[in-house]
Amino acid sequence: DGYFHQRVSECLYSSKDLQGIEFIDSYVFNKVEDIRFNSTVGKYVGYTEHGVKNAEAWNSDAGILAQERGQLERYCKGNAAIDYSA
């Protein structure tokens, strides 16, 4: 009786030298991942029909891509010391 929408942003660390950090930004609707931005890939990838359409639109917008690509520096690398200390 309703809809479930979730956005999950996470940093994956493979080493402490900050070179192996990966930023993932996922959009989930009704427990199915529709679309994901992966900093290693550098663009959005759609996993459903709706996600593919959004990925095409968002990947064609340089401003949206620049904002997501910047999250690796701002969000992941900026918080690495906190994450490593935990």
Out of 20-24, 34-38, 60-64, least confident range: 20-24
Q: What is the pLDDT of residue 5?
A: 92
Domain count across the chain? 1
| Cβ atoms of 16 and 85 closer than 8 Å | no
Note the pTM of the prediction, 2 decimals: 0.83
Decide if pLDDT at 4 tops 70: yes
CATH number of the domain to which 15 belongs: 3.10.320.10
Range of the structural domain that residue 11 is part of: 5-85
Residues 3-15: what's their mean pLDDT?
89
Decide if pLDDT at 15 tops 80: no
Residue 31, both tokens: 């427990």
pLDDT in tens, 36-63: 999 999 999 999 999 999 999 999 999 9
Alpha carbon distance 44, 26 (integer Å): 9
